[in-house]
Structure 1
Amino acid sequence: MEARKAPNPLEPYVVISADCHAELPTEQYREYVDPDYREDFEVYLAEKAAASQVGGFIDEQFAQDWFSEHGEGIAGGWDVGLRDKELDSDGVVGEVIFPDADAVSGVAGAPFGAGLAQSGSLDPGRAMAGARAHNRWLAELCSHSPERRAGVAVVPILADVDAAVAEITRAAESGLRGGIMIPALWASYPPYHDRRYDKVWAACQDLQMPVHTHVGAAPQQEYGEHLGIYVTEVRWWGVRPLWFALWSGVFERFPGLRWGATECGAFWANDLLWLMDTRYLREHSAKKMSHLLEGDLTMPPSAYFDRNCFIGATTTERRELARRYEIGVSNMLWGNDFPHPEGTWPHTREWLRRSFWDIPIDETRQILGLAAAEVYNFDLDALAPWPGASVLPRRTWAKTMR
C-alpha cells in the first residue's frame, strides 16, 4: 500500500474568496436597464439622491475615514483593473461575486433595490428590471479573467416563477456560473416550502447554479433605533430559508441542487444540525410528534446538509474553526468580503496568519479554496499562475505566531 504523501507546508495556498462584492455606482446602470423601465429608473435615482445614505446605522466618522483611506480600493467594486490589483495584493486568486459593492454609503447599488436587501416587499416588475440590469453588467465584469470569477445572479423568484427561470437560464448562458441569490424574506408571497418554486430548483440543478441567500435583509421597520436587535438577528433571517427548503423535501426531490448561506456566520450550524437531527430521529423531546415531522425526508437533516449545503463562512472566526468537524470542513467556504469594511480586505494575509496558524494544512486548503473550487467549478490549474497564489506558506505562519 502506497504511503500517503504528507502535505507540503511550503506550497502556496490557492485562496478563493466565496464572498466578494461588485456593483456599479447606481446612475451608471442606465444603459443596462430595460427600456420600459428607464423612466422609472430616473425617478428612482432622484429618490435615492434625496435619501440620506450615511448616518443612522453607519457611524459618520468611520465612513469618512474609510473612504479617505481606501477610496481607490473601494473603486475596485466596479473597476476591474483596480479590482484585480486589490485581490492580488490580498492574496486572493478567485472570487465569488455578490452585489452591493458599497456597504457604507450605498452609492454603488443595483437599480430598484435589487441587491443584498431584496425581499418580497419590492415592486415585482422593478425588482426584476433591477436584477436584470445588474446581471447584464456583472456578466461583462466576469468576462475579464473569467477563470477567476464566479458571478452570482440576482434573481427575484417570488412573484413570477416562470420569469425567474427565464432569467436564471439567461444569466447562466451569459457566463454567470456562480449561481443565483434569492430573497431571504418573502413578505406576502408563499414561503420556500411551496412546490411552486420547484421550477426554480429544477432549473438551478440542471444548470449547476447554486442557490444562495446572503445576509442583509431583515424587517428593519420593526427595530426603531435599536441597532442591537438588527445585528443580533440579521444572520438568522439569512439562514432561515435553508430549513424551509430542507424540511419540505427540496433536497430529496433535487439531490443535485447546491444551497449556500453566505456571510451569515458558521457558528450556528452544528447546533442547528444537532437540533434538527434529534427531532427527526424522535429523541425524547420529539417523541410526541406525528409523521408530519419527517414528511418526505428519507435521511436525517444533517445528511442533506452534507450533500447539498454549504456555508459562505466570510471572515471565518476562530470559534467557528473550532467547530469545523461538526459543521464539516468541506462545508465551510472562506471569504474576504471585498470591498466591505467588515471583511478581511485589505489585510487578509494577516487575518489568515492569526486564524489558521494551527489548523492542519489539508483542512486549511479546503476552507480557503478547494471547497469553493468544487462548488463553483473553478479550474485550479488555471488559477495557479495568478500572483495571489503566493499566500505566505505555512512555515512563515508558524514563525509569525510564536
Structure 2
Amino acid sequence: MDTQNPQATDQATLPLIISVDDHTVEPADVWQHRLPKKYLDTGPRIVRAPLKEMTFLGGRFKPLMGEPGDDGPIGDWWVYEDLHRPLTRLDTAVGYSRDEIKLEVITYEQMRPGSYDVPSRLADMDVNHVQSALCFPTFPRFCGQTFTEATDRELGLLCVRAYNDWMVEEWCGPDAHGRLIPLPLIPLWDPELAAAEVRRNAARGCRAVAFSEIPPHLGLPSIHTDDWDPFLQACAETQTVIAMHIGSSSRMPSTSADAPPAVGSTITFANCCYSMVDWLMSGKFERFPDLKVMYAEGQIGWIPYILERADVVWEENRAWGGVADKVHRPPSELFTEHVYGCFFDDAFGLKNLDSIGVGNVLYETDYPHSDSTWPKSREVGEAQMGHLAPDVVERIVRGNAIDLLGLTPDGLWEGPK
C-alpha cells in the first residue's frame, strides 16, 4: 500500500489517540484491601522512609532503603517480602521540565495525581488528545516479574489476582467510562495457572495480557520450548494479545556494568528486536495461527531491516538453521499476520511505513514516564504523520488498536459482556 499522499493530512483533524502504552502507578492500598489478613504484613504495602543509596548503571537499578531517622531524601517505598522498591521521579515525570527529571525517590504527594487517580488521569488524557489508554503496571514491573521473583508462590498468585481485580474493577471500572483498557498479569512461573488467569480475565472482557519479552532472563523457559503452550493456547482461543514492554525481562540493554543510563535508553529497542526474532523463528505462529503479539515502547524504525535479514536467514540457512521443520513461511509474512510494533516518537519509522505495514503499527504516549510526549502527543503525531494519507493516520492512531483490543467502534472498552 502506498501510504504517501500529496494531499497531506489536515493537521487539525488528527483523530483522538488510543494509546497502547501508558502506565499506572498503583495506589498504596491495592493489595492491602484485597489480600487475606494473614498476608498483610508480607504482601505489598507502602512505607515512607529515607533513601540511603541508589544507582542505575549497566541497566541495573539498585536502591537501598534507610531506617527511620537516617539522613537522606524521604520517599514512599513498596515493601514486599524482602523487596524494598521506592517510587521514583522516573516512574512519573510528566509535569516536570527535562532538567528536573532525575533519578530520585518521591512520595505520592510529589507526583502528578493522574499517575494513580482515575478522574485525574482522564483529565490529563483530555489535555493530550487521548481518548483511551492501555496501562502497564509499575510496582509489579512490566509483566509482573516482581511476583515471579518472590519466595511465596501462594502469596504471589494472590497478588497477581488482586492486581487484576483492581485493574478491571477499579482502574478500568465505571469511573473510567470505558477509556481505560485493562492489561492483566499472569503467574509467569506456571503456564497452566497463567492460562487459567487469561481465561478468567477474558471472561470479563480483557483482550490483552502482559508477558516477558525474553523469559529466560527471568529464569523461565524460552518460547522455543513447549512449556508455554497452555498459555499460548488460552491467548489464541480468547483472542488475547500478548503485550511485551521493553524491560519486561528485568534486563535493559546495555554494553557494560558501568555504562550510563543514556546508553541503555538509546538502544532500548534491542530487547524487542531479539524477542521478535525469537517469535518469528519459534514456529508458534504456525502452531497457533490466531496468536497476536505487540511490542510496547520499542519504536518501529528497526523493523524493516530485521524482517529482511530474517527472510534471508530463513531462506539461505534452512539446511542448518534449526527452523526448517517448524517455520514453513517467510518470517516477514508471519510478522504481517501476528506482530505489532508500537511507537510514540519515530519519524524514521513513519518514513518507511510501507516496509513495515500500516496494519502492524500502533500509537502510544508513555504517560507518565520521562519519555512521554504528554502533553504534546497530538503535536508530535501531526508533525511526524503529516505526509501520510488520512485513512492511514486513522489506522495508526486508533483503528488498529480498536481491532486488536476488541474495543467498540468508538474506541472504548465495553467491560464484561
TM-score range, shorter chain: 0.7 to 0.9
- Would you tell me which structure has more strand in proportion to its own residues? 2
Alignment RMSD: 3.5
- The reply on whether 1:210 has 2:241 as its aligned counterpart is yes
**What is the identity, as a one-letter code, of the residue corresponding to 1:300?**
P
What is the CA deviation profile of residues 334-359 of structure 1, one whole-angstrom value per residue up to 9, with x for unaligned ones?
10112222111112222123222222
Q: 1:82 is matched with which residue? A: 120
Give secondary structure in 2 for the equivalent of 1:136: helix
Give 1:326's match in structure 2, choosing from 355, 360, 371.
355
Give secondary structure in 2 for the equivalent of 1:93: strand
Q: 1:202 to 1:45 in 2, by over 3 A?
A: farther
Q: CA deviation at 1:380?
A: 2.2
TM alignment of 1:1-400, pairs within 5 A: 9=10, 13-35=15-37, 37-41=39-43, 48=77, 54=88, 61-63=100-102, 74-100=112-138, 109-110=139-140, 121-123=149-151, 125=153, 127-140=156-169, 141-144=171-174, 145=176, 147-157=178-188, 159-182=189-212, 184-186=214-216, 187-216=218-247, 217-219=249-251, 223-227=256-260, 228-282=262-316, 286=317, 289-290=319-320, 292-313=322-343, 315-381=344-410
Q: Which moved more, 1:7-16 or 1:326-335?
A: 7-16
Contact 1:185 1:237 in 2 (8 A): no
Q: CA deviation at 1:237?
A: 2.4
Give secondary structure in 2 for the equivalent of 1:333: strand
Give secondary structure in 1 for the equivalent of 2:41: helix
Contact 1:16 1:335 in 2 (8 A): yes
Identity %: 21
**What is the identity, as a one-letter code, of the residue corresponding to 2:101?**
F
Q: 1:60 to 1:185 in 2, by over 3 A?
A: farther
Q: CA deviation at 1:204?
A: 0.5
**What is the identity, as a one-letter code, of the residue corresponding to 1:219?**
R
Q: Which moved more, 1:19-28 or 1:80-89?
A: 19-28
Q: 1:66 to 1:120 in 2, by over 3 A?
A: closer
Q: 1:337 to 1:124 in 2, by over 3 A?
A: farther
What is the CA deviation profile of residues 307-351 of structure 1, one whole-angstrom value per residue up to 9, with x for unaligned ones?
0111122x1311111121111111110101122221111122221
Contact 2:14 2:382 in 1 (8 A): no
- Would you tell me which structure has more helix in proportion to its own residues? 1
**What is the identity, as a one-letter code, of the residue corresponding to 2:390?**
I
Contact 1:114 1:127 in 2 (8 A): no
Q: Which moved more, 1:114-123 or 1:353-362?
A: 114-123
Unaligned runs of 5+ residues in structure 1 are 1-5, 101-108, 384-402
Q: 1:166 to 1:178 in 2, by over 3 A?
A: same
**What is the identity, as a one-letter code, of the residue corresponding to 2:406?**
N
Rounded Cα–Cα distance in structure 1 between residues aligned with 2:296 and 2:235: 17
Q: 1:246 to 1:34 in 2, by over 3 A?
A: farther
Rounded Cα–Cα distance in structure 2 between residues aligned with 1:119 and 1:329: 36
Q: CA deviation at 1:243?
A: 2.6
Q: 1:343 to 1:114 in 2, by over 3 A?
A: closer
Give secondary structure in 1 for the equivalent of 2:257: coil
**What is the identity, as a one-letter code, of the residue corresponding to 1:365?**
E
Rounded Cα–Cα distance in structure 2 between residues aligned with 1:382 and 1:35: 39
Give secondary structure in 1 for the equivalent of 2:403: helix
Contact 2:17 2:130 in 1 (8 A): yes
Contact 2:88 2:103 in 1 (8 A): no
Q: CA deviation at 1:299?
A: 0.9
Rounded Cα–Cα distance in structure 1 between residues aligned with 2:323 and 2:256: 33
Contact 2:402 2:411 in 1 (8 A): no
* TM-score, scaled relative to structure 1: 0.78
Contact 1:247 1:295 in 2 (8 A): no
* TM-score, scaled relative to structure 2: 0.75
Q: 1:281 to 1:36 in 2, by over 3 A?
A: farther
Unaligned runs of 5+ residues in structure 2 are 1-6, 49-64, 66-76, 79-83, 413-417
Q: 1:65 to 1:356 in 2, by over 3 A?
A: farther
